Amino acid sequence: MSTFTFGNDIRRFHRIQLLGKGAYGKVYKARDSLNNTFVALKKSLISMDEEGIPTSTMREICLLRQLSHPGVVSLLDVIMTDSSLYLIFELLDQDLGTFLSSLDNLLSEEQAKRFLLQILKALYFCHSRRIIHRDLKPQNLLLDANLNIKLADFGLSRIFQIPMRPSTTSVQTLWYRAPEILLGCTTYTTAIDIWSIGCIFAEMVAGVPLFPGTSEHNQLYAIFRIMGTPNEENWSGVGSLPRYSTDFPKWSTILMKNLFPRIAPEGQDLLEKMLSMDPNKRISAYDCLQHPYFQGMN
């Protein structure tokens, strides 16, 4: 468990550069004058119309207190002022999306495999502690100077119980959203994270997103064109999902060996298992780590 304490002096942090902004607030590169180190300062605005801290921010704080792992970004401190809440994180150099965009050539399979192994180790750590991330994408995977990768942004994450309880389907960025979420399933599992990581692995080796949809409906078709249109024969129970239709166009599955010929056969097999349309057949993070693709790797 993280050992950070709740601080009370934001003045010790000197902002240097705006790193990003969104609905959550803004993230800055800052220098901590107390120990002369650089950090990432996430500023979340507290609306006067709301009662207390935003739910997503409070959830992120609570979950990160439980996640002390080399593959998960470290939350160093939390500081509250009258109008803002500041989360102080370790500073990493860039995110995976920025890194991939900066390359002149495709990422080597060996490097993609190394990234994938690191991601899966961190994800298994989360899942073994009953935490689903629910928003895995290249922008939420951060890299340090030695190209070690870490999971970040746990604002949409949640702790789950078995049996699974109904949850919102307003999770996951569109291109990395699992088909069961797109079809309206509310009792989803950790399998949705595995789907996202499968999409990211494919993007690392191909250099482009695998399923770049423009809307939820278009996203489903982007998936079906490659993975095949699901039916009761290959996905038991799919017909009962709220957004499923027997009128969906019928596409056949394209084999991974045809889509990604430069990946080793073991990698093609793992990717196929990660992108199983039926979440009940999708491989777990633990079983991913035991897969022959990673034989001989630490």
Q: Which residues are annotated as a binding site?
A: 42
For 118, phi then psi, to 5°, come to: -65, -45
The Cα–Cα gap between 187 and 277 comes to: 16
Residues 59 and 47: their CA atoms lie apart, in Å, by: 17
Cα distance between residue 208 and residue 200, in whole Å: 10
Q: Which two tokens stand for residue 151?
A: 């999971």
Spatial strand order of the sheet with 6-7 comes to: 6-7, 75-80, 84-90, 37-45, 25-32, 13-22
Separation between Cα atoms, residue 21 and residue 190, nearest integer Å: 28
Q: Which residue has the tokens 């996430």?
A: 42
Q: How many CA atoms are closer than 13 Å to the CA of 173, on its beta-carbon side?
A: 17
Tell me the C-alpha distance between 169 and 295, whole Å. Answer: 36
Binding-site residues for ATP, in ranges, read: 42
The answer to whether residue 135 is catalytic is yes
- State the catalytic residue, choosing from 135, 193, 269, 278: 135
Long-range CB pairs of 179-184 (<8 Å, 24+ gap) are 179/220, 179/223, 179/227, 179/230, 179/277, 180/241, 180/279, 182/216, 182/219, 182/220, 182/223, 182/243, 183/220, 183/238, 183/241, 183/242, 183/243, 183/244, 184/241, 184/242, 184/243, 184/244
Tokens encoding 7:
């601080």
CA distance 151 to 273: 22
Do the bridges between strand 149-151 and strand 84-90 make them parallel or antiparallel, or are there none, so unpaired? unpaired
Which residues have a catalytic role annotated?
135
